[in-house]
A and B are shown apart, each in its own frame.
Chain A
Amino acid sequence: MRTNLAPECRTCRSRLSAYAEKDLAGAAAREVENHLLECGLCRRELQALEGAWQALALVGGLEVSPGQSRSLAARISQGQPAPGRKSLWSWILRPAYPALALALVLLMLVGAWMLRIWTPAIPGSSGSGGVIVTLGSAPPDPATALTNSHPAETALTLFGSGGGADADGPAEEVGNDFDLGGSDFDPAAQGQEVLAGYLE
């Protein structure tokens, strides 16, 4: 279409945008104005240019409240990213949180299970000893227990094997099952025997 234009129209249109921008002065501006007075096509072209430029005003903008601006400034000042904006580290770590928590729980469970497996059973320790004390029913007399100077004797007293004031009756019945030698019992020798048995 432009190839069919008269040379004056072509010259005018090459300057039309600058003219519309009021960026044309002197002789060039006068030439355009003179041509526009006599050429309806070029006038139309100028109207189209200005109409398109004015139409840009139809594009609205975004509104910002003072609160939003203050919030943004505060986030930046405190070095915190906005809720919608993820930092590199949060991006890296966030998906790992549930897996990390699960792994920690599993690790603790496995650790506890392995501790149970690998802890050696101590003879006469709380496990079986506790049962024996329960079966001995009557609690030992602290005074009697304290009179026995040898630790093994103290242990026997706690087991209720005899000698204690409260070890009669039921204690004797149950005590038969755990007869460690009665009054002839030599704690040191018996301990060595038990130890040797375990070592074998």
Chain B
Amino acid sequence: MEWVRQFQAGDAQAFNRLVEKHHRTVLNLVYRFTGSAREAEDLAQEVFLRVFRALPGFKGQARFMTWVYRITFNLCIRERGRRARREARTQDQESEEAQSLVEGLAQPGPSPDEHLVDKELEGAVRLAINRLPEDQRAVVILRRFDDLSYEEIAQVLNLSLPAVKSRLHRARAALKEMLTPYLEHSGRGPGEGGEKP
């Protein structure tokens, strides 16, 4: 907040410090939400451009990062809407990839080495995150990767507390459904070493 005040007082260098401190957070927030590194770079730049323009009028009623998160998600959701048509084709491809992965798991071949399993699992996790509805995805990212409290998530996404909890629980259930086959295949599933019923 000190840098925010300095910037508002006319210290242009304070903005540089703000960018340096929060660039990675914003970039990864967008990256995890969109699944695209290139899109993340473009949108992160757009986020900081908006921050730069709006910062003189920032009153400090919310935490600076809460405000930045809100700008980021608003921008992400708007951009995703704009690009929805273009992405429809990609999603079809993703669905085909996911289907082939699931089919592959249904008939597991010889056990691949650990590195390949990790890579496959990482791809599956990315896919699972991208397949969550946007409202659930946003909650998951803020909770899991940015470690925000329910209250902070509610502020960022302009939701009630019960709505945040409900979305998070549904998202966790959906992730479990999508990822359990991969986890079992990689030897990390609940059946591996866990107690049998």
Residues of A within 8 A of B (CB): 17-18, 20-21, 23, 39-41, 43-45, 47-49, 51-53, 55-64, 66, 68-70, 72-77, 81-82, 84-85
Contacts and interface: CB of A to CB of B under 8 A. Distances in A.
Contacts of B23: 64, 68-69, 72
Instruction: Tell me whether chain A's interface is mostly helix, strand or loop, or mixed.
Output: helix
Contact of B16 (A20, A45, A70, A85): A70
B37 interface: yes
Given A17-B168, A64-B27, A52 B197 contact: no
Contacts of B189: 48, 51
Contacts of B188: 51, 55
7 contacts: A47-B190, A47-B194, A52-B179, A56-B125, A59-B125, A61-B24, A85-B45
Contact of B169 (A17, A40, A64, A74): A17
A69 B20 contact: yes
B20 A56 contact: no
Nearest to A63: B24
A53 B141 CA distance: 11
B142 interface: no
Interface in B76-91: none
Contact of B129 (A59, A68, A84): A59
Given A41-B197, A48-B180, 14 more contacts: A21-B172, A39-B197, A45-B176, A51-B176, A52-B180, A56-B129, A59-B126, A61-B24, A61-B31, A61-B32, A70-B20, A74-B16, A76-B52, A77-B15
A72 B172 contact: no
Given A62-B27, A62-B28, A62-B31, A53 B175 contact: yes
Instruction: Tell me whether chain B's interface is mostly helix, strand or loop, or mixed.
Output: helix
Contact of B28 (A45, A61, A81): A61
Contacts of B183: 48, 51-52, 55
Interface in B99-155: 118, 121-122, 125-126, 128-129, 140, 144-145, 150
Contact of A58 (B28, B32, B122): B122
Nearest to A21: B168
B166 to A, nearest CB: 10
A72 B140 contact: no
B141 to A, nearest CB: 9
Contacts of B144: 53, 56-57
B97 interface: no
B22 to A, nearest CB: 9
Interface string B1-21: 000000000001001101110
Nearest to B44: A72
Contacts of B48: 72-73, 76
A135 B67 CA distance: 89
A44 B16 CA distance: 49
A41 B196 CA distance: 8
B49 interface: yes
A51 B179 contact: yes
A44 B24 contact: no
Given A40-B196, A43-B195, A62-B27, A72 B179 contact: no
Contact of A76 (B37, B45, B122, B140): B45
